[in-house]
Every structure is written in structure tokens, then in C-alpha cells.
Structure 1
Amino acid sequence: MGKGYSPRIASNPYIVGSFACIGGGLFGLDISSMSGVLNNPAYEDTFGHPTSNVQGAIVAAMPAGSFFGALLVSTLADRFGRKNIVILSGWIWVIGSILQCAAVDRGMLVAGRVISGLAVGIASAIVPIYQSEITAPAIRGRLVSMQQWSITWGILLQYFVEFGCSYINGKASFRIPWGLQMIPAIILSLGMMLFPESPRWLMDHDRSSEALTILADLHGGGDMNTPLVQLEYAEIQEQVTFDREQGAKSYLDLFKPGIFRRVVLGCSLQMWSQLTGMNIMMYYIIYVFEGAGLTGRRGNLIADSIQYVLNVVLTVPAIIYIDRWGRRPMLLIGTLLMGFWLMLVGGLQGRFGHWGSVDGSDTPVWVITDNDAATKAIIVCSYLFVCSFAITMGPVSWTYPAEIFPMRVRAKAVSVATASNWLFNFALAWAVPPGLSNIAYKTYFIFGTFNFAAFIHIFFMFPETAQRSLEEVEDIFAQGHMFTAWRINRDVGKKDAKEVQLANKHEVHEQVSLDEKA
């Protein structure tokens, strides 16, 4: 019973909940693996000096694979287990990385990126599900939001590898970083063997004794008879029974009353997280800074790395205070700030820029020349944009969808919401390079407008869910109408603390009595 994992590791909820986040870091590795080579002569020579449209297609290959990977999660995770699918995502990433590292033409590179994208899509959907089912409710929000932090670390670490390898002449300057990105995936797949399977999945597959053992290791110090473990065991058993009798059997269940509205909210938030314009500042930051007048490959790499450091650092306060600040304030303030900074970038480029060339390239770009003040202002606004995303939208976009759905549809709903993220990621990754090449600074105005539209949508339709239990979230959506989320304060749906404590004590004593009789 409970074999195949380390009980010592399982007794530490933060290790259990955070290790799987390495899967999120794979997405960050991919972002830097592309953004760091866009102005690499060896990369351009090897792949035929791709045009803006071709480069967009190469970058978009990864989110295209991720879209299908996210949709596969529900079926794979329910059949083979949460833990095993996390392990699978790591090995798929290794295969994709090998193909990219060995690529000799665009076709092979795109194939490798599609396979890597499949791994990222699977990991990005399964990791929040695994975390929500394996960790205690008191730390669930914090640990799920660490998914975003792991993405930022992936971006940062891979970018510094790219920076170091930029001093190498020849194809090794991009093949070495693409090969090294296999290491985290190998660590993930091997390390997950030491971690437990989801107790809920085990219970759903008639492996109740293993589920009880894992619950005891996770939340009872190995003691199966502690009241908390017995209560959790009874709750999961009740949920599994309900799911089998009345729960979701297909994706059509997501259209049922009371569920469809939340599916729309989850998909919308993942969509808005892409439409904020973060893709521009992550995938194509080199293009942004070149347009601002920052020339020289290594100087550009240094400026980019500062942005990625800020992305990592500013995500930390959001993780720590996400439950205290609340989801709505973070989203509303973040969208306003991001829209403001993008409008400033577009305005500065429109006022001081012109069509020209960068570093002797024959391809015309919108660029600022001989205006150091405007160049510095655009770089600062870009940094502030990334900081605004990191401390608001970034963590919340992963946390909110994982906590608004009932357990019976959570795997399918989170899968669909994550797939919407990758669908828009794919579209924007392909569209941004041609956009910068054809409408230049106006691209920033478009994404700035998206942020303001997101603010309006969130204000009217996204209720607060911070520090709410599943039952309280159900009350919120039962009481609040579609366009009145702004009227729902933090007390709506909240049960009295003494009432909750008495109810919990009653349930524990009742369950213990039943166990003694049995």
C-alpha cells in the first residue's frame, strides 16, 4: 500500500505541492529558448533567415502543440493518474528538445517545438489539478500560484544560458541551450517517482487503502486515525460516490446550468492573460528594444535579462499576499496599469520613431534613432509593464480557474481553460512579428485596449473567491448574477467561523463513531 513514493517527502506539504511546478517551468524555458536567439546570426543562417511571418510560425508551433496537450489531460489524467501524466510530460519534453537541438532545417525545428508544446500543454493543465488534490486547502492557493513563479524562473535561467552561449561562435550558441533544457524535465520525471499519487484518483479507482495511507502521510504524520485524515477520507469517498452517480461523464457536462458560466470565466481569464500583451514582452522583447533604438546583440541581451529578473522578483509578493489582497483587486489594478504602460510605449514610438533599419539589416523596422531619452523611457515602461503583470495577472490567471469549479468537473474545466490560454498564445505568437513589421507602434495600442477591455469584463463578471472553501464558492455563484460581481464583497458566502468550527467537529465525531462501529 502506498508504495512507489517517499513518506518522508509526502509529510512536507510545500515540497509535495511545489515540486510538480517544474512542469510550469518548461513553458518558461521555451520562451527564452526562442527570444534569446532571434538576433543570433548562427540561428538565422541555419534556418534561412526567417521572415517575420515565418519566425512567428516557428514560435507559434509550441503553443499549437500545447493546445492539444491541454485538451488531452482530462482523459489521460483520469485513466492513468495525475502523477504518471506529470512524469509523461517530462519525457515528451525531452524528445522535443532532442529534435530541436539536432534540427537542421525549419521543418525539424517546428516538429520539435510542436512535441515540446505537447509536453508543456499537458504539464500546464495537470500540475494545478495535482496540486489542488494533493495539498491542504489552507495553502492551496499559494502553491497553485507558484506555477507562474516557476514559469518566470524557467524564463530567467534559460535566458542566462542563452546569454552565456551568445559568446560562442557558430551553431553551438543555440544548440547547447536547447540541449540543456532537457535537464529540468529529466529531474521532474525522475523526482515525481518519489511523490504520492492523488488520493482522489486512487479512491476513484477502488484503491481506498492506498488513498488512506497517502492522506495519513500528507496530513496526519503517518497516523491514519487522526480526525483530519478520517474526515478527508470520508469527504473524498463521498465526492467519488457522487461523481459516479451524477458527476461529469463528458465535456457536455461543462454546459450544464451553474457550470457553463464558470467555464466562460476560466477560459476568459486565460484568454485575457495572453491578450494583455505579455507575449510581446517575453517572446519578442528583442524586437521591442531594437525598435526603441537599443542596438547591439549583447547590450540587448543584458537589457532583456533585467526584465526577466524583475519578472521573477515581482511574482514573489503576489504569491505571498494573493489570499490577503484578493483576486479581483489584483486583476483590476493589473489590467489598468498594463494598459497604461503599453499606451505609453506606443505613444513614444509613434512620436519619435520612423521606418529604418537595425544593425545593417535590409528589413525595414519602426525604430527610434538619436533619441536617448525616448529609448530609456520605452525600456522603463516595458519593465514596469512586466512588473505589473508579475504581481497581478500572472499568478491569478492560474489560481482562479483552479478554484471556481466543483470537483466533479474540475479536470475537464481546467483542461478547457488551459487550452484557451494556448489557443490565444498560438495566435498571438504568430501574429505579433508581422504586426510589428506592418503596423509597428500601433500594435501596442491594440494590446493596451485589450487590457482596458479586460478591466471592464473583470469588474462586472468576476466575483471574489479568495479564502473561500468549495462550498462557499458555490454560494457565491448561486447568489451573484452574471453582471453583478462588483456588488459581491468578501463577506458574501462566508460562513461564521464558530459555525464552521462546530460543523467540522460534528462531522469528525460522526465519522469516528462510524469507523468504530465498523
Structure 2
Amino acid sequence: MEADNRGSPTFLRLKGQPLLYAVTACCSVSFLLFGYDLGFMGGLTTNVEFLETFDNPNSQLLGFLVSSYEVGAMFGALAQFAVGDYFGGRKPNNVIGISTLIIGAVIQTSSFSQGQFIAGRLIAGFGLGIVTTVIPIWLAECTVPKSRGRMMAMQLSTMILGLIIANWLDYGMAEHHSGSIQWRLPCAFQIVFALLVLIFIPWLPESPRYLASVGKHEAAEHSLAALRGGFPDDPEISFEFKEIQYAIAVESEDVGGWSDVFHDNGISGFTRVAIAFSANFFQQMSGVNVMSSLGPYVFQNSIGMSAHNAMLVSGGLQVWYFLSSLFPWYAVDRFGRRKLFMAGSIGMFSCMTLSAIFVGIDKKGTGYAAAAVLYLFHTFFTLGWQSNMWIYPSELLPLKLRLRGGALSVVSQWMFTFVVVEITPVMIDNIGYKSYIVFAIFNLCTLPLVYFCYPETTRQPLEVIDLLFGDKEDGTRPTIFEVVRNSKNKEFVKRIDEQLKENARLRDENENILDESKAEIQHVEKDPTEQA
């Protein structure tokens, strides 16, 4: 903890919005690793040196060499569910994840057998599963409501930058180098980004909401003051902290424990975890990671391009993907999560349907038309299901269940990333153009689910979202359909916000009265001794 020349708390001599950008930058490099690790294996699936090193695996084994990473990530997220709350905060968990990823990267780089390479993929994936669980929560708990989505959109653009670096590094190494360095250098290069995170994360603030939840109130106030660019006793900062304390007090009364991720005791814990789980599920079943992890394979084996052209078109796709990801910077906090989810799903359904038609016709011209449609698919994905999905579980889940519930939602992410990456080569080999129909159907299915079951969370304090799930005036708990309806009602949300402020004020006043009463009692009890 530092302070500027006026005594205001700082980290790295930064406070307020610059400090929020620093936290976002650290989170972004972590997610760059996410994109890089998904992307660099795509180029290796058609690399002759890599395939010969591992005895030219068939499509099923090749799929597992890629998707074993997702298996490791799924278990990393499960580890966060089981023990993540015992490692002292968002930052320490991220350090553990990044360190584990580095170990896995070293094992992959030095591999000479399928077993060793798979072990390295599993270990590195385990580390990334931890990182992708913790990072969105840390960012959501540090940012302000009006820019929360934009900060996540910036982070996800950096993830795509990782895909670009991976694809073009694969291409450059295949074109200009010979021997196993063609694939070993891409395996090792991820360590550079991991070390950057390890260097900077100790100097950044811990989540003030996490600190408050474990009773470290002074540290929480300092962290919040630094993130908001003021002093702990500034009225706005002090009041935000009181709101956080009030929400924690409500949860301590209504939420029984971590097992509420499986029950609707308390503030609809299971319902909220199920929605977060489904968001991750449908994001993966949209088909986006078919192209992220297996782009060159798809362009070569499904669309019929040469290996060289497949690498070029796949690299170009990632550049287009990055440019498309800039649109959500503007849109994500302006149009709302629900509208963007549904608009993205409609666009992705249309693109997958057209891809099935073009690939099914099976002519050279229609193959390139299918490639163009897959480019457009990524525009709709970034607008609807990229930044939106990664911030949504952290906004939706209550503080006490945020890490465990977020871990389960990330389990869904990695479980179905594994499924998609594992089955895609087999699907392409066996059912061809119908593969795209499968993904089109999943995109269509998201529309009624989002419309009826996904509450709006845009630009709302996390504590207000908690109260949307709270008991009604008659003591009954609202159904998810009522919560969704209320979340769209601006007047209702405004009343909830006012209720939060009033309850936080009353709680603070009552605590002050109680503290004064305790002081008077202690004084009365002490007087006889003094007189003696």
C-alpha cells in the first residue's frame, strides 16, 4: 500500500481510473494467455514436424492432444470450487494458476512422447482453469458499474490478440524454420506472458469486496479508496463501502454456506449458478472454439483449402476477430446484456446455417463463401457472447458464492470446450456440412432461455443485483421469471437501489448507536473501580 503526497491510497503510484486500467491490463495479459493457449495448437494440427514427433496421430488422438488442455482447465476450475476460498484472495489464486501454467508449458516444450505432451497440456490447462475462474471476479469486484462491461471487453480483445500472436507465430515458424523448433518455440512463448503477470500482480490492489467479506475492513477501505481515486472517509467512497457491508450482512443471514450453490436457500443460489453455468455452456456450443482451436484444420479439411492457404485464412480470421471485438467496447454497457446475447445468437445461427449450405454445395466458390460467413460469425460472437458472457456470472452471483459458483460456471466453459474440440475433427470427417447445423441449432436454442431466464445486470451495482433476488414484501422469494421482469423495469431497479442506500444508512446508524451504548456500559462498569 502506498500513498500520494496528499495521503490518498495508491498502488504503483496510481489511483482511480488509471489504477482500474492497470488492474484491467494485468487481467488482460492473463486472458491473452487464454487466447494464446487456445490458438497455438490450431497451427500445430497441420504442422508436419509436430505430427511426425508424435507418430502422426489419427483425428481422434489429434483432437485429444488439443482438447486435453480443456480437461486440465476443467479440473483447475473444480479445484477453485473445492479450495479456492482458502488461499487468501483473488490475487494469490491467480499467482497459483499462472505458476502452474508455466510448469505445464515447460513440460510441453520439452516433450518427445505423446504421454509427456498430454501431461504438459493437462497441467498447463489446470493452471488456466484457476486463472479463468478468478480473473473475471477480481475485475468485476474492482470496477465501477458504468464501465464494468467495457473493462471486460478490453480484456477479451486482448484474449483475441493472444490468438493472433499464436496463429501468426505458428505460420512464421512453419514457413521460415525447420526442425522441432517449429512447434517448440510456440509452446514455450506463452511463458513470457505468464511471467509478466507474476511480476505485476503483487503490486495491484486486492478486491475490496473480498477483503470486506473476510473482515479485513481497513484494507478493504484502502483498496476501495485507491480504486475510486479518493480517501476512505470521502462520502461517496464511505457510502459504497457501507453498501458492500450491508450486502455481506444480508448474505450472512440468508445464505447458509457454500452448499447453497446446489440449493435455493438464501438468495436463489442454485438458480443463479445454473444461469451462469448455462451461459458458459451455450457460449461454447455456439461453435466459436471450432475456429479458435482448430481453424487451419477446418479450413483445410472441411472447406478444402491447401495447408498454406488454411494457415493464412485462419490467421486472417483472428485479425478480423480482434477488430470485431472492438465494437463491444462501445456497445456492452449501452445496450444491455440481454439484447446483445439475443442479437448475437440470431447472427450466429444465421452464419452457421449459411456455412452448412455453402459447404454442402461443395464447390470452390461456395467454400470461400463459407469462409467469409465464418468471419462474419465472429463479429456476432464478439458482440453477443464474448465480453457479455465473461462478465455476466460475476455480476449475477452473490459475493459469498461468487468464487465457488463462478468456478462451476467455468467448469461448464472448459467441459464443453473439450467436447467441441474433441468431436469437431470426427464430425467433419463423418458428417461434413451437417456439423454446422448442430451448432446452428444450439445458437437458436439460446433465444428463449435468455429472454425468459437471464436478468439484466448492465450498469447496476453488484449489491443491487443481489437484492433483485431477495424476498418480496410478503416474505416469498421471487421466481426467476419475476426477477427477469423486475430487472428490466427501470423504476423497480431504481427503488431497489434507493432501498439499498437507505438500509445501508440505517445499518450504519444502528451500529453507531450500538457502539455508543457499549462504550457507556463499559464506562459505567469501570467507574466503581476508579472510585475504589
Normalised-by-shorter TM-score class: 0.7 to 0.9
Paired position in structure 1 for 2:33: 26
For residues 410-461 of structure 1, the C-alpha deviation after alignment (integer angstroms, 9 at most, x for no partner) is 2211111111111111122111111111111111111111111122322232
8 Å Cα contact 1:5/1:194 also seen in 2: no
Contact 1:10 1:195 in 2 (8 A): no
Q: Residue in 2 aligned with 1:55?
A: 62
SS for the counterpart of 1:265 is: helix
- 2:113 is matched with 105
Distance 1:496 1:402 in 2: 23
Alpha-carbon spacing, 1:475–1:85, altered in 2? closer, same or farther (3 Å):
closer
Residue 374 of structure 1 pairs with residue 366 of structure 2: yes
The 5 Å alignment of 1:364-403 reads 371-403=363-395
Q: 1:132–1:380: structure 2 CA closer, same or farther, 3 Å change rule?
A: same
Letter in 2 for 1:195: L
- Shift of residue 256 of structure 1? 1.8
Aligned runs of 1:28-43 on 2, under 5 Å?
Answer: 28-43=35-50
Counterpart residue type for residue 115 of structure 1: I
Once the two structures are TM-superposed, the CA of residue 328 in structure 1 deviates from its matched residue by 1.4
Unaligned runs of at least 5 residues, structure 1: 353-370
Q: Which residue of 2 aligns with 1:323?
A: 333
Q: How many residues align?
A: 499
What displacement does 1:14 show? 2.0
TM-score by length of 2: 0.86
2:150 paired residue number: 142
Aligned twin of 2:315: 305
On the 8 A contact 2:69/2:124 being kept in 1, the answer is yes
Q: Which stretch of the first structure deviates more once superposed, 312-321 or 33-42?
A: 312-321
Larger radius of gyration: 2
- 3-state SS of 1:9 partner: coil
Mapping 1:111-190, distance limit 5 Å: 111-167=119-175, 168-190=177-199
C-alpha distance in 2 between matches for 1:196 and 1:502: 25
Residue 76 of structure 1 corresponds to 84
% identity of equivalent residues? 26
1:281 aligns with 2:291: yes
- Show the 5 A alignment for 1:405-420: 405-420=397-412
> 1-side partners of 2:295 and 2:274: how far apart?
31
> 2:245 and 2:186 mapped to 1: Cα distance?
47
| Partner residue in 2 for 1:467 | 459
State how far apart, in whole Å, the 2-side matches of 1:435 and 1:418 are.
25
Equivalence for 1:441: 433
CA RMSD of aligned residues (A): 3.0
Q: Is the Cα–Cα contact under 8 Å of residues 11 and 226 in structure 2 kept in the other structure?
A: no
**Structure 1 Cα separation of the partners of residues 248 and 443 of structure 2:** 40
Which digits, 9 at most, give the CA deviation of each residue in 1:313-352, with x for residues without a partner?
A: 1112113221211111111111111111111111222222
What is the Cα deviation at residue 408 of structure 1?
Answer: 2.2
- TM-superposed deviation, 1:393: 0.9
Relative to structure 1, is the Cα distance of residues 486 and 346 closer, same or farther in structure 2, using a 3 angstrom cutoff? farther
**Cα distance in structure 2, aligned partners of 1:511 and 1:484:** 32
Give yes or no for contact 1:341–1:381 (8 Å, CA) kept in 2: yes
Letter in 2 for 1:174: W
Unaligned 5+ segments in structure 2 are 4-8, 473-477, 520-532
Distance 1:42 1:213, change over 3 A: same
State yes or no: 1:269 paired with 2:279: yes
Tell me which residue corresponds to 2:528: none
CA distance in 1, matches of 2:498, 2:211: 32
User: Which of 222, 230, 236 in structure 2 is aligned with 1:228?
Assistant: 236
Amino acid at match of 1:401: P
CA distance in 2, matches of 1:419, 1:498: 32
Q: For 2:501 and 2:422, locate their aligned partners in 1 and report how far apart those are by CA, in whole Å.
A: 55
Query: Which has the larger helix fraction?
Result: 2
Query: In the alignment, does 2:356 pair up with 1:346?
Result: yes
Give the residue type in structure 1 aligned to 2:142: I
Question: Residues 234 and 461 (structure 1 numbering): CA distance in 2 closer, same or farther, change over 3 Å?
Answer: closer
**What is the identity, as a one-letter code, of the residue corresponding to 2:299?**
F
